[in-house]
A and B are shown apart, each in its own frame.
Chain A
């Protein structure tokens, strides 16, 4: 059980207050009807399942109900930080480019 910082509440709270909401920044295809079965299947089912630093979504279900992103190490459970979806995306994209 770790603690997470909710960027919307501006507070660090216990994990019990949050719900896990999956890998972050999986883009929904803009035109699903044009996606092939393979592409759609990739979007639906394929996840990075990273061992290491991982961008994931959490929802502050017992608090503000907002979804935000956390960069967490899936093996050591170290947390590098948490951001709103919009703020986090900039960091995420920068890392993806690097």
Chain B
């Protein structure tokens, strides 16, 4: 046992279960039930970090999520976690932690030694740097900041642990497992409501775990807590989640909570089949916020020295963990409650001097208790400054004026190895405020609190409403919960639990303890430890005319960081209020935003990572593609074959081969990913007339037509071929990526504008497998598979479709082409997709049939000048811009979507960007897609951009490069030479038709 370990009957550690761990490589011992922080204190560790700006030595201040200083790096390699608060890390056997600050090392810190860094970074450093004339110096600052900043190192290896999400729908969610939360859950559970209670700690009880003397209903509070837990366990409708922090509250009571399922276990003992952490997404009809309160320290000179803590931390380490934070303790308070910490520490054998800033001190009974325990009381004093550098050695006291927060006279200098302070409690209002709620300043509690009555769907219970005494907190909880139950139409079963009634003396309204000097002239008095914000910094911000607390926050960095100002905010607001000469209520708070405490990326991702990060959609032919060595690219979630390299082929070589095989003989492509929509009803044809730019009135059954879909702004949004199945029935296809969007588009227009049209849309994208057989030999291939369709050129023309059987399977065969070649698309029930593909491959074998992917498809269509919506268009291209005026039926009686926009002054401009073809002067140059086009070779800025390249490929068939581009006034510039800036060079190129192959269409009509 170290000098700091004591035995307390209340302790929650198991002194029979010692645990070994290392801190900065040093072997140490703690016990089961310890946090890393309690074990470190027990091992006499005081110095745990260096401060961000000044490199000042820092130690543990708090005992939970409020801790600003004790940020550690846990474990190494793939399991490493940065920036954990030692106060929240449960100790386990073999734990390894390191400090994260100090450059080059914790004990020898350059920032701290030279103090140079501080000079660089006054409050408002970033504002001043970027707004002011010193902007040029930023690179220098940046180098220094990067060297010294940050608290931990992000893991660089993949996280081997499992995480998941779990959704809940409950009647009542109770946040907080202290006495009030437990009572609210008990009443909700007894009323038969589906209830979930989440608590941040490894065991329920809240402050009762720290306050050994609390009693409820005449028995020790922890006994009452255990009775409640046993009762909740016995109720089938109540779930209690421990180690679970509700960190965000969103609209309509969606609460996110993080459960640390296995963080408390040695890495080797964790079950890889269970989540390390689980993200709970809880939708609750009603939320009870019983999140309690956190004690804030007072603000005084050198209050950041290692060994300075909150009184609540001192009391918690003692009673819960059996660790005395010091053997010679000074405790400064402005309220009665902190007397308990002094009393308990004295009982445990420490020498305790209690410095009460109030001249009369606490209520008599507390003064008596303290004195009996051996506490020395000094009334009407405050600490002006702490002595000691890397550890507390003592403090200089001052005598305070009893009425104003000024110094009346000198006080003694006392020695100490630990200094505690209590500046009162701050309600944990965060969740109430995440979603538009605002706290209000309750002067009698000296805290921003939430209203007793909560708000719609949210009840507030206990200390969160500013009730610090257990008896009144429980009474308020009982009332608030009963009101909630009444809202559910349920009654309350049980009487309000009784906490002991205590006489309590008035608190002194004090935040910054005066030291007799003007602010900024004495020792630094810290408000925000993590961001090194002192009281003087806040005064400076106000002097520099920052009036809004949100601006003061951003100027000074008050309340930022991993602790989110849990200790500092109220002190900061109060000091700002004083500097501004305004009441705190008028200053208000900054905005509370999720997350309450940090959440790992692993938990946020859950199962949505790696192969299930997002859906990867496959066609029925996937196995065929894999067998033939396809490489894949993602197109709108679909995994499409990209190209099929043979041997050591590069992509370029493979695509050349695939293109030539298709143009010279026959290729085959999986077109199953195209969106397909069954459009049927008496008004189907009229609907198509309205939704497409071209006319559909004369399309007969058995025929197909290419259609352009415009948005109401006249811009091309999708395209595809639609086949007429019957007079009232069409088979529409859309782009691969546009399928869902188009279906919703059709539904919206039908439902909102033209509900009178009798037509329905049914997605059949997944039903049909589509095998495109492409090339001069495609007819020969089909003839081997198909006996009941006349495939002759005269009886099955280009843009016809036929129903029949292919290889014995019912099929719809479309004679359409996205390559300019003779081509057929075979559509079958996708369950036959694999079979048909393999049959086509076998039948095509004698012709050297060549499977090809999206890359070859792109080259073939570009050679033919076919656009790809989203590549050659960007939402600002009309059909006319694309030289596709032929696909616009201006004479249609109904003003189809986008028609009116085609005659707007902007859309009829002659200098719009229009689609053209480009031939580079050097046929070997393949331009970069996206490259900018200029009219002259002179690129001296400002060079007027004329357009850009949209598609660019090497065409093996043409033996040269081709490109499609959009060019201002392009339709009138055929034959011009333009200049394309690509790959660091200017390339002259000639404007040509965007149809590079077979302008007459002989091939596709063959």
Contact = CB atoms under 8 A, between A and B. Distances in A.
Contacts of A37: 904-905
- Interface size class of chain A, counting residues whose CB lies under 8 Å from the partner chain: 20 to 34
A76 B291 CA distance: 24
Contact of A67 (B251, B712, B752): B752
A85 B751 contact: yes
Contacts of A59: 744, 747-748
- Size class of the contact patch on chain B: 20 to 34
Given A21-B748, A76-B436, A85-B751, A40 B904 contact: yes
A1 B744 contact: no
B899 A32 contact: yes
Nearest to A24: B752
B252 A65 contact: no
A31 B755 CA distance: 18
Contact of A2 (B251, B713, B747): B251
A54 B752 CA distance: 17
Nearest to B251: A2
Interface in B709-759: 712-713, 740, 743-744, 747-748, 751-753, 755
Contacts of A2: 250-252, 254
B993 interface: no
Contacts of A57: 748, 752
B896 to A, nearest CB: 9
A40 B747 contact: no
A1 B435 CA distance: 11
Given A19-B744, A44-B713, A33 B752 contact: no
A1 B167 CA distance: 13
B254 A44 contact: no
B900 interface: yes
Nearest to B740: A61
Given A1-B251, A1-B254, A59-B744, A67 B751 contact: yes
B283 A65 contact: no
A50 interface: no
Interface core residue of B753, B755, B899, B900 (most chain A CB under 10 Å): B900
Contact of A31 (B251, B740, B747, B895): B895
Interface in A40-98: 40-41, 44, 57, 59, 61, 65-67, 75-77, 85
Interface in A1-15: 1-3, 14
B751 A66 contact: yes
Given A32-B895, A33-B895, A41-B904, A3 B748 contact: no
A19 B436 CA distance: 24
B901 interface: yes
A77 B744 contact: no
A32 to B, nearest CB: 4
Given A31-B895, A33-B895, A40 B900 contact: yes
Given A44-B901, A67-B752, A3 B252 contact: yes
B744 to A, nearest CB: 6
Interface string B84-123: 0000000000000000000000000000000000000000
Contacts of A67: 747-748, 751-752
Interface string B745-784: 0011001110100000000000000000000000000000
Interface in B244-259: 250-252, 254
A21 B753 CA distance: 13
A33 B740 CA distance: 30
Contacts of A33: 895, 899-900
Contacts of B904: 37, 40-41
A85 B752 CA distance: 7
A6 to B, nearest CB: 13
Q: Name, among B435, B743, B901, the residue most crowded by chain A CB atoms within 10 Å (CB to CB).
A: B901
A85 B272 CA distance: 51
A85 B750 CA distance: 12
Nearest to B897: A28
Nearest to B900: A32
A44 B712 contact: yes
A85 B283 CA distance: 28
Point out which of A28, A33, A41 has the most chain B C-beta atoms below 10 A from its C-beta.
Answer: A28
Contacts of A61: 740, 744
Contacts of A76: 436
Contacts of B251: 1-2, 77
B283 A14 contact: yes
B895 A1 contact: no
B242 to A, nearest CB: 26
Contacts of A28: 712, 753
A76 B250 CA distance: 11
Which interface residue of A14, A32, A61 has the most chain B CB atoms within 10 A? A32
Contacts of B744: 19, 59, 61, 65
A97 B747 CA distance: 29
A66 B746 CA distance: 11
A32 B751 CA distance: 19
B458 to A, nearest CB: 14
A52 B437 CA distance: 17
A42 to B, nearest CB: 12
A75 B251 CA distance: 11
A1 B740 CA distance: 22
Interface string B884-909: 00000000000100011100110000
Nearest to B436: A76
B969 to A, nearest CB: 22
B901 A40 contact: yes
Nearest to B899: A32
B895 to A, nearest CB: 4
Nearest to A3: B252
B246 to A, nearest CB: 15
Nearest to A4: B252
A67 B752 CA distance: 8
Nearest to A84: B751
Contacts of B740: 61
Nearest to A76: B436
Contacts of A65: 743-744, 747
A1 B250 contact: yes
Contacts of A44: 712-713, 901
Given A1-B250, A14-B283, A35 B748 contact: no
Contacts of B900: 29, 32-33, 35, 40
A21 to B, nearest CB: 6
Nearest to A68: B751
Interface in B283-309: 283
Contacts of B252: 2-3, 77
A41 B900 CA distance: 10
Nearest to B714: A44
* Residue from B251, B436, B713, B743 having most chain A Cβ neighbours under 10 A: B251
Interface string B413-452: 0000000000000000000000110000000000000000
B382 to A, nearest CB: 45
A32 B901 CA distance: 9
B747 to A, nearest CB: 6
A80 B926 CA distance: 58
Contacts of B755: 85
Contacts of B752: 57, 67, 85
Nearest to B905: A37
A41 B905 CA distance: 11
Contacts of B751: 66-67, 85
Nearest to A31: B895
Nearest to B711: A44
A61 B670 CA distance: 28
B903 to A, nearest CB: 8
Interface string B263-288: 00000000000000000000100000
Given A1-B254, A32-B895, A67-B748, 5 more contacts: A32-B899, A37-B905, A59-B747, A85-B751, A85-B752
Closest 3 CB pairs of A and B: A32-B900, A2-B251, A32-B895
13 contacts: A1-B254, A2-B254, A3-B283, A28-B753, A29-B900, A32-B899, A37-B905, A44-B712, A59-B744, A61-B740, A75-B436, A77-B435, A85-B751
